[in-house]
Chains A and B, each alone.
Chain A
Amino acid sequence: MQPSDTLPVQIKATRKGFTLIPDRDTPFAEILTYLERRLKESREFFQRSTVALDARNRAFGTDEILQIHRVLKDHGGASLAEVRLEEDLSFWLDTRNGGSPLDSKVSKSKQQDNAPLIVKHTCRSGMQIVAPSDCLILGDVNPGAEVLAMGDIIVFGNLRGVAHAGAGGNRSAKIWALSIEPNQIRIADLVAVPPRGNKPTPKRFEIAEIQNNLIEVITI
């Protein structure tokens, strides 16, 4: 047994569920493998619990958080309900383009109003969410709900309502979700309505972005 301060991830029980505290120097792949193993070893234990990810020590990319979400759900039956971040929330959202998290943290923190809006619950029919920058939703966006963001929209759940990214006209904005089966998606000035009929459930997550003047949904 390794001493707890060098475990890839510490799993702490709290009053409301569990908190994951990842080691700051362990590579992401190792964290994920370790987490998966722990979940498999104690399947029933995590069933239906809510989990918080403490990301204050270590920056995570959006795709990495999505992977953690998946592993928790698939191997533990648990749901990621909260991502704890530092005061300035913007830095980790930008790491997916390969830039070092710390660099983007410095450049971003000058613009305070760029912090993403974090919604910690399911967006239900009749709700409208408007975000001045990126919007991060820890839950589903149900049919009849509407999310509008000047920047990207990231959904740790199923997107089934209306999502409008880059609402100010930014055509490079993207929509990320574990599954995209919306009423309608919009990016900047383009609108897409999903094709009729069922599609197979995706393995990991999906991204909607503009390609050749058309909104395309890509499954990763």
Chain B
Amino acid sequence: MAGKTIVVTSGKGGVGKTTTVANIGTVLAKKKHSVVMLDADIGLRNLDVVMGLENRIVYNLVDIIEGKCRKEQAMLRDRKLNNLFIIPAAQTREKDAVQPEQMKELCRQLAEEFDFVIIDCPAGIERGFKNAVAGAEIAIVVTTPEVSAIRDADRVIGLLEASLLKDIHLIVNRLNYRMVKKGDMMSTEDIVNLLSVPLLGVVPESEDVVISTNRGVPLVHDRGSKAGIAFQRIAARLNGESIPFDNGYGDGFLERFKRLFRG
């Protein structure tokens, strides 16, 4: 059976797509799945940096597509998990070096070999976005609780729906509970209500994320981190495990909804 192809996208830049890909890829690999992460952010690659593999790159995504190497040659194996790979983006090429059809074919081939193919999408809704979503059958839309990020997420969801990619899930990243409580930040409830796609999880704002990015070690390796736990729960849901939304982890707003309905 073919593996799952998942694109992580957002519209607005810098909201946490690459962080999400690195962490859920790592968790799924820890759960013994074979995983390949594809950096489709051509010209602005950074998945390799987050994974701490920057200095090992020889070939990249564009090389595979142009036939300059076999896809196995471009795959970098993770430093800790031997069933986790990344295919880096080309740093020096333009986005139009790749066609959506070519991405689709590559994803199809990868899905034959791997349980999960996770694609890191560039910001924006132009060519790079179209390439990144072309081969995916599941989309994860990442947003922060800011009006501009939510507006872009909404736009992207509309474009995904129009391109018949209807299996869409939402991650709210960088939530600051203190600010939500004070009414200075939009709550998860409001965001889900507006975007009307199912919630995969909520990741709190945390310094741990920045530290792990700089160390090149995904957060989920660190047991104590709250943001890391949030990504573990997200990946488990993606893996089909039933993880209830729970106030102890800050994603418990659904419980409150249910209570309202029960009267």
Within 8 Å by CB of A124, from B147, B158, B261, B262, lies B158
Interface residues on A, range: 10 to 19
Q: Is the CB of A144 within 8 A of B262?
A: no
Chain A nearest CB, measured from B13 CB (Å): 16
Closest to A74 in B: B261
- Given A121-B161, A140-B196, decide whether A43 and B262 contact each other with a Cβ distance below 8 A: yes
Interface string of A33-62 (1 = CB under 8 A from B): 000000000010001000000000000000
In the assembly, what is the distance between CA of A143 and CA of B193, in Å? 13
In the assembly, what is the distance between CA of A186 and CA of B261, in Å? 36
In the assembly, what is the distance between CA of A127 and CA of B151, in Å? 12
Total CB contacts across the A-B interface at under 8 A: 35
In the assembly, what is the distance between CA of A118 and CA of B196, in Å? 19
**What DSSP secondary structure best describes chain A's contact surface?**
loop
Within 8 Å by CB of B155, from A47, A121, A126, lies A126
In the assembly, what is the distance between CA of A142 and CA of B195, in Å? 8
Q: Is the CB of B261 within 8 A of A140?
A: no
Q: Is the CB of A127 within 8 A of B158?
A: yes
In the assembly, what is the distance between CA of A124 and CA of B160, in Å? 11
**Residues in A lying within 8 Å of B, measured CB to CB:** 43, 47, 77, 121-122, 124-127, 139-140, 142-144, 160
**Residues in B lying within 8 Å of A, measured CB to CB:** 147, 151-152, 154-155, 157-159, 161, 194-196, 261-262
27 examples of A-B residue contacts, CB within 8 angstroms: A43-B261, A43-B262, A121-B161, A122-B196, A124-B155, A124-B157, A124-B158, A125-B151, A125-B152, A125-B154, A125-B155, A125-B158, A126-B154, A126-B159, A139-B196, A140-B194, A140-B196, A142-B154, A142-B194, A142-B195, A143-B147, A143-B154, A143-B194, A144-B151, A144-B154, A144-B155, A160-B194
